[in-house]
Structure 1
Amino acid sequence: MRLHMGQVSLLRWVNNATITGWQPLWSYPSSCKISAFYCGAFSACTSAGTCACIDGFRPSDPDEWRLGQFVSGCSRVIPSDCEDGISTDSFVLLDNLQGLPANPQDTSEETSEDCEATCLSQCYCVAYSYDLSGCKIWYNVLLNLTFGNGTIHHTKISMRIGSHGKRRQGHIQHVMLVIGPIVVGLLIMLVIFWLYKISSRQTKVDGFLAVYTYTQLKRATRNFSDKLGEGGFGSVFKGTVAGPTDVAVKELKSFGHRDKQFRAEVQTLGLIQHTNLVRLFGFCSEGTRRLLVYEYMANGSLNSHLFSEGTSILSWNLRRRIAIGVGKGLSYLHEECRDCIIHCDIKPENILLDAEFCHKIADFGMAKLLGRDMSTALTTLRGTIGYLAPEWVYGQPITHKADVYSFGVVLLELISGRRATGNGNHRYFPLYAAAKVNEGDVLCLLDGRLRGDGNEKELDVACRVACWCIQDDEIHRPSMGQAVRMLEGAVDVELPPIPTSFQNIMDGGDSGTYSAEV
């Protein structure tokens, strides 16, 4: 005994020379005329009481059909081709039906063409009918189909079927519709990329730097239209190079020591990379033109935030991070590179801030490479008055400790937000600051705009480190590595003595920048 999809059957197992398998002895309902759904989906009841698939369909389970069980219905011979309302299917007319299939859905279409179009645009629509009563649509399956005979009036429905030819053609059209624009777009992008590579072709130098033509940099800066700043060295313009990457393009002025500064920048930044050193992307040396291409630092130089009105006020925590970061950059130059590199012009104007206020040392035009044995030393005056170590003035050999002195002055300016020179009643602010540090009154040195919002212990350490860095004799100054460890709190900082030669440094007059042979 078997109950299957609403039909009860009595089966017998047969195993002989001609047949092996289950054979039906009795079933109920025994005829499609007894049960409306006896024949299953897309199968119609014939006048003989048996089931037959409609045109374009075949039994879903032939074995069940051979046993006289038709409720599994029929399936399409050619699958429907419809996706997202786009279809290449067609319709075949069934005009010999007795009555309509079960569950029709009435729609508002007023013509047979509109009724067909509505069904075709809905992938789950399997048939439609249009007569005087209007448009009817069937979804998913057709059930309760009965073929009529010659003695009764026949009803008509249009049955959805797939088509090999149309399906293939439609598939090709669909693929071309999707792939075509992509292929065209890729070709256009390849052409643009090829043209761009030709127009912006660069030659790599030592695996680090790119050589640009003047025309490329003129195009990158839109004819040098967006000027970021100007100084004694030349002008800086904002530009965009391949990537796209925002860059700062420095065009050096034509003067006697321009080529020396140009070579110093290329030789120094072209060989090193550090998170606290501005990155040099490339350069242009074409005829008399000398240009340098750096990473773009959106927030400009430190001096604009310390000394200019209307700029954002740097918090104490940020000032301390800047001091430590600049110290690490100098420590890298002095102690970690193959050759000891002296920057020679550390000042707020040469400390740049990116969009996130990350800080980097810039402008290596006066930098000098020294051997690790310090067998060579500088005697050429270079730098900015107010940040120069005493040995520059006294004509003594210059070592990396000259950068330490400049760092100490910058650290005091970071703390106070005041220029070291020409500052109100204090002609040379570091002298005043050193005295206050020895008195234990460091809060009076903190930038008034911070309104006392700073860590007093960190402030005291920073002031002591600054005063150690500006000692007269370089022997008494810490290395940059030691200064960083002091600022980070890794080692204790003793109270420094007050230097005695500040006034002598100022005897040369107003602040200015020098790079001349002595």
Structure 2
Amino acid sequence: MGLRNRGRFIFCVVFLCFFFKPRLSIEAGALSVGKSISGDEYIISEKYGNFKLGFFSPGNDSQSQNYYVGIWYSKIPEITIVWVANREKPLSDKYSSQLKLLEDGNLVILDPSNTIIWSTNLMTSTTSNPTEMALLDSGNLVLRSVSNSSALIWESFDHPTHTWLPGGKIGLNKRTNKSQLLTSWKNSNDPATGIFSLELDPAGTSQYFILWNDSEKYWSSGTWDGRIFSLVPEMRRNYIYDFTYVTNKDENYFTYSLKNSSIISRFVMDVSGQIKQVTWLDGVGWNLFWTQPSQQCDVYAHCGAFGACNQQASTFCGCVRGFNPRYATDYSNLSDWSGGCVRNTPLRCVNNASVNGEKDGFFNMSNVRLPINPQFLAVESALACELACLNSCSCSAYAYNGSCYVWEGDLLNLEQLSDGVTGGETLYLKLAASELSISTSGGSKKGSATGAIVGAVSGAVALLGLVVVLLWAWQKRNFVGRSKAIEGSLIPFSYRDLQIATKNFSDKLGGGGFGSVFKGTLPNSTVVAVKKLEGFSQGEKQFRTEVSTIGTIQHVNLVHLLGFCSEGTKRLLVYEFMPKGSLDSHLFTETRGSQFLDWKTRYQIALGTARGLAYLHEKCRQCIIHCDIKPENILLDAEFCPKVADFGLAKLVGREFSRVLTTMRGTRGYLAPEWISGVAITAKADVYSYGMMLFELISGKRNSDQSDYGEKVGFFPTWVAKKISEDGEILSLLDYRLEGNGDLAELTRACKVASWCVQDEEVHRPSMGLVVQILEGIVEVIPPPIPRTLQTLAENHEHIVFFTDSSSDQSLQTRSPSSGTPSQVKSSTSSTNSRA
């Protein structure tokens, strides 16, 4: 072929390709009045072309017949939708549909029949002031004045769907009292409004909530403190974003921007029910930067009714035994578990009627986090609890842990804990008999031969059970015979007894300065805590005498000593078991077994602990100085009643010989100054430690952990004393996780008490008896000085510490709240007569 003919051929091919190729883009990122796009046409954002606007079909289903108008990133290979216009009304044919700017200034979507299915709904005509539609490089779709491009009439940033882009905002319009919602897709293939949403508090506070079904709040950001949201401490360690919170007479809103404009980042209300901040990494894809709730199983009703969540499983959700997914396709293909599960076999229900010898029963689900919304039943045994659920048609499950709880209807938020994860309980799930039977023939009913085999096996099991019961009774009689109480109410155990009870000390609960603690079970099923003592040098007679004295001490806020073991060098103490563990596990950590403490519970813990210490110091025949008060030594029973542990182990101190302790004990961070100076120790050392612990109850953090307070705050106890002396905002001292939910009067009393307890000189500290009176509201105390050893700002405080007219002894000035008249209530200065 000649060069001329070849050139003509190429020209024709190029011409034909151009002629038949559909128009794919609109230049300059704008659409003028009367213009439209449809089919595969799109608009690319002006200036840098970061985003595209056009028709799309969501998900990975190439056969989908649903089309939407949306915005997506143009410079990354993975199609990622950030905004959808007609999310509730999909189109069936994108080529016969249009996105069009009408002459009245409204941007609309027209279906093939030319019906408007979506509109910007501007009420005021803009014909006198022509408008245009534009897609900005921020991803914001706007309607603006042609003559003034900065005059925005409408913008998609005011109507977000599931993605919050930098520069956008999620806020509250104070004039209309309407919140902007960031709402998840229904599932990965359907951008319709899902069940999870993020909103700024409609009540006007500066905190965000994640909601399930517009009703259940299962996450909060905490309030804005000027730099971060109080429950999002990760914001302090941010190097990517700039944050701004705005409040004025018209609106409250939060917005963020990128420090580096080259970074691609977005904030999403995900179909998983989690909010996620992700950034794009070339060659990697979308990288998760931050998410809340951090655990998928903490999302409310994530697995739907009768679905169990497992944090370690690859799919998180699964149906409990006897149930199957309501919508199997959603479960398997779309990761949408909101439909939950349904029973395979209906229950017999009415009076547990027997049909062909089969009755409804219960399947034992062990180590689970129980579902929400249980109902309490006042019954006295596990059997009564089981029968109550069995005979109720609406009862789906029950649990018994000393108290009876039942669930009616759907089970929500059930979590199956993984092996090795502690803190779970046992749920008894009500199922039809056919779901409970174990079949070797694919679930078919067994014949008479199988029945005979089952009967024989049952008889053998019953006989074996009888033998086991007889052996257990013999062992119990032998055990109790050896371990009868011979010294007061205490039981002297042999070392072998405690080895058996603790399964050779295999279940360790914790440890401290006096030794390690193990969980055990006595033959009468009593659960106990066994402490193996270390470093005790007393002779056996002295040890038994001192332990016997401790065993006689009975108080609701002291751990009860049940028995002991003293064989050679082996010294063990047997205590009542505290099911909620120690205070520190609930105050400082977020493990599976921990539970967040509200202010009411914290205040009762503070008051109960003070009462227990006051009893040790002032009510016992011999004054007992604990010497190691800290959250680890405050144990909690099933009702979160505090009980002081390890009392009396440091030293029993007679009142007339109160200043004899000179060997340093205790824990760094809770030690009174006199421990360091080497002077003799009194009960006021416990008062100091109690004050330091009280600061931690208030803040929810270790006093030694100042990282979250920053340079502005410094050491927390000093900050409290400063706020109190300056009449500062007391609620700002409260644990940010409480979101300001605390009694102001109680918080003020607690802050004052804590500050007085940590005074440098023990003579300035109140007795524990006086602490109890202050916390109970019987005695009112004045603001304290800032202790010198904690002081960072040296200010005059002489006017805060007063002297009595009749004595040179320093005392706390207090006033009776009933009379309001100042009076002097002298604090205890001598341990020989330290009474409340």
Task: Identify the TM-score tier after normalising by the shorter chain.
Answer: 0.5 to 0.7
Residue in 2 that maps onto 1:408: 691
- Alignment match, 2:510: 229
Cα 1:259/1:402, change in 2 over 3 Å: farther
Q: How does 1:183-332 map to 2 (within 5 A)?
A: 193-200=473-480, 201-253=482-534, 255=535, 266=547, 269-310=550-591, 311-332=594-615
Match of residue 721, structure 2, among 429, 434, 439 = 434
Distance 2:748 2:651 in 1: 33
- In the alignment, structure 2 segments of 5+ residues that lack a partner are 1-464, 793-836
Question: Relative to 1, partners in 2 of residues 1:399 and 1:302: Cα closer, same or farther, differing over 3 Å?
Answer: same
Per-residue CA deviations over 1:150-200 (Å, capped at 9, x if unaligned) read xxxxxxxxxxxxxxxxxxxxxxxxxxxxxxxxxxx9999788545422134
Equivalent of 2:654 in 371, 392, 398: 371
Contact in 1 for aligned 2:659/2:681 (Cα 8 Å): no
Q: CA 1:259/1:394 → structure 2, altered by over 3 Å: closer, same or farther?
A: farther
Distance in 1 (CA, whole Å) between partners of 2:627 and 2:544 is: 15
Alignment of 1:469-488 (within 5 A): 469-488=757-776
Greater Rg by CA: 1
Residue in structure 2 matched with residue 355 of structure 1 by the alignment: 638
Map of 1:65-214 to 2, 5 A cutoff?
Answer: 193-200=473-480, 201-214=482-495
- Structure 1 distance, partners of 2:517, 2:662, is 29
Whether 1:418 aligns to 2:686 is no
Give the conservation status (yes or no) of the 8 Å contact 2:550–2:648.
no
Partner of 1:338: 621
CA distance in 1 between counterparts of 2:582 and 2:771 reads 23
Spell out, residue by residue over 1:406-432, the C-alpha distance to the aligned partner (whole angstroms, 9 max, x if none).
Answer: 111111111111111132136642122
Aligned partners of 1:324 and 1:484 also within 8 Å? yes
CA gap of 1:189–1:366, structure 2 versus 1, over 3 A, is closer
- Retained in 1: the 8 A contact 2:687–2:767? yes
The 1:398–1:205 alpha-carbon spacing in structure 2 relative to 1, beyond 3 Å, is farther
**Which residues of 2 match residues 18-97 of structure 1 at below 5 A?**
none
Deviations 1:461-492 (A, max 9, x none): 11001111111111111111111110010111
Deviations, residues 321-358 of structure 1 (Å, cap 9, x unaligned): 00110000001011110111111110000000112211
Give the drift of 1:449: 0.6
Aligned pair partner of 2:777 in 489, 500, 508: 489
The answer to whether the Cα contact below 8 Å between 1:434 and 1:467 also exists between their aligned partners in 2 is yes
Higher relative CO (CA 8 A, sep ≥ 6), structure 1 or 2? 1
1:446-485 residue pairs with structure 2 within 5 A? 446-485=734-773
* Contact kept in structure 2, 1:221 and 1:239, CA below 8 Å: yes
Supply the distance in 2 between the matched residues of 1:460 and 1:247 (Cα, whole angstroms).
38
RMSD: 2.8
Contact 2:685 2:762 in 1 (8 A): yes
Taking the aligned partners of 1:442 and 1:268, their CA distance within structure 2 comes to 43
Task: Specify the code of the residue in structure 1 equivalent to 2:724.
Answer: V
The alpha carbon displacement at 1:258 in A equals: 8.9
Alpha-carbon spacing, 1:398–1:263, altered in 2? closer, same or farther (3 Å): farther
Question: Kindly tell me: are residues 481 and 232 of structure 1, through their superposed partners in 2, closer, same or farther at Cα, counting changes over 3 Å?
Answer: closer
Whole-angstrom distance in 2 between the partners of 1:244 and 1:481: 37
Match of 1:160 in 2: none
Structure 1, unmatched stretches of 5+, are: 1-184, 505-518
Partner of 2:665: 382
TM superposition score normalised by structure 1: 0.57
Task: Detail structure 1 runs of 4+ shifted over 4 Å in the superposition.
Answer: 185-192, 255-265
Distance 2:689 2:770 in 1: 15
- What is the aligned partner in structure 2 of residue 158 from structure 1? none
Cα 1:439–1:259 shift into 2, 3 Å: farther
Following the alignment from structure 2 to structure 1, what is the Cα–Cα distance between the partners of residues 468 and 504? 27
Alignment check: 8 A CA contact 1:419 1:429 kept = no
Asked if 1:499 is matched to 2:787, the reply is: yes
Please give the alpha-carbon distance, in whole angstroms, between the structure 2 residues aligned to 1:486 and 1:321: 13
Q: Confirm or deny: 8 A CA contact 1:420 1:430 kept in the other structure.
A: yes
Aligned partners of 2:624 and 2:647 also within 8 Å:
no
Report deviation, 1:297. 0.5
Q: Find the aligned partners of 1:348 and 1:486 in 2 and give their Cα distance.
A: 21
Per-residue Cα deviation, 1:384-417 (whole angstroms, up to 9, x for no partner)? 1111111111112211111111111111111111
Question: For residues 455 and 262 of structure 1, what CA distance do their matches in structure 2 show?
Answer: 45
Higher helix share: 1
**Residue 247 of structure 1 aligns to a residue in which SS?**
strand
SS in 1 for 2:558: coil
Q: Secondary structure at the match of 2:698?
A: helix
Aligned residues: 319
Match of 2:825 in 1: none
Identity fraction in percent: 58
| 1:495 alignment partner, SS class | coil
Once residues 607 and 645 of structure 2 are traced to their aligned partners in structure 1, the CA distance between those partners, rounded to angstroms, is 16
Distance change in 2, residues 1:367/1:233 (3 Å): closer
Secondary structure, counterpart of 1:478 in structure 2: coil
